[in-house]
Amino acid sequence: MAPKSDTLSDVKMENLKHFARTLLQIAMIAVFVTVVVAVVIFVAVVVLKLSPETTAYVVLISLGLTIGGYVYWSARWHAYWAPISKPVITKKWTDSADHRMETVVENAIVQAGEYVRSSTLRVSIYNRTTGRRLARTVVGETAEFLGLHGIGMWFYIPDRFHARIDGLVCLDPQTGRWIYHVPKSEIRGVNRVAGKGKFSVDRVAEDNDGETDPVIIQLSEVRPNLR
């Protein structure tokens, strides 16, 4: 049974939820901006006794910083809540309670305006019987999916913006947690080579002179290094 988000009715429901979350965020930022403006005016006028012109400038700067900070913070969540996605790979499994589960690597489609459209890798875990989503991890817009090998789902992430982790990583398909990590500071790139699960990893040389040493690794033989 496919996850509920794959059916037309549930896509519509996800869209409604997405719209409701947008309205809630607008209400939240309106309240937050009102509070910030009130506090700034109180401090500027009552405490610092600034002139009306200076107070106006301070209020405008505070508004710009508040809205800019909110836009930056909320951008990380767009791919998480995006109702439309395209599956890359699906792994079906059964948990300890004999529930039928499904872990999906998918590209979340984020539409920002008429012409701006982005695709961001994320991993979602569903209960196949109920269609309920149990966990979701956003991997990143620039991340590369390396495949399902050995201990889990492998990615190379050059940008920490979404996942808050970079480099060569592996995600446990049953928990949605990172179980292996070598940071980007130690690995500059990962390239596929002949053979299933084999990759050439450009490791930074030990003398750290900017050079890299290509190392062939078999991902199916790598063990977890995170708890």
List the pLDDT tens digit at each of the 227 positions of the chain. 444 444 445 556 666 776 787 788 788 888 888 998 999 999 999 999 999 999 999 999 998 888 888 777 777 778 888 888 899 999 999 999 999 999 999 999 886 655 557 889 999 999 999 888 999 999 999 999 999 999 999 999 999 888 999 999 999 999 999 999 999 988 888 988 877 788 988 887 665 566 777 888 999 999 999 97
Say what angle helices 52-81 and 8-42 make with each other, to 10 degrees: 160
Query: b or e along 96-127 (b: 16 or more beta carbons within 10 Å of the residue's beta carbon)?
Result: eeeeebbbbbbbbebeeeeeeeeebbbbbbbb
Structure tokens at 159: 């940008």
Exposure of 86 by Cβ count < 10 A (0-12 exposed, 13-18 middle, 19+ buried)?
A: exposed
Residue located via tokens 């979602």: 124
Q: Is residue 132 within 8 Å of 120, Cβ to Cβ?
A: no
Residue type, 204: V
Exposure of 154 by Cβ count < 10 A (0-12 exposed, 13-18 middle, 19+ buried)?
A: buried
pLDDT at 219: 93
Q: What are the residues whose beta carbons fall under 8 Å from the beta carbon of 40, sequence distance 6 or more?
A: 58, 59, 62
Global model pTM greater than 0.75: no
Q: What are the residues whose beta carbons fall under 8 Å from the beta carbon of 25, sequence distance 6 or more?
A: 74
Q: How far apart are CA 92 and CA 187, in angstroms?
A: 31
* Model confidence pLDDT, tens digit, residues 59-92: 999 988 888 887 777 777 788 888 888 999 999 9
Residue among 82, 104, 79, 100 nearest 91 (CA): 104
pLDDT at 102: 97
Q: How far apart are CA 142 and CA 209, in angstroms?
A: 26
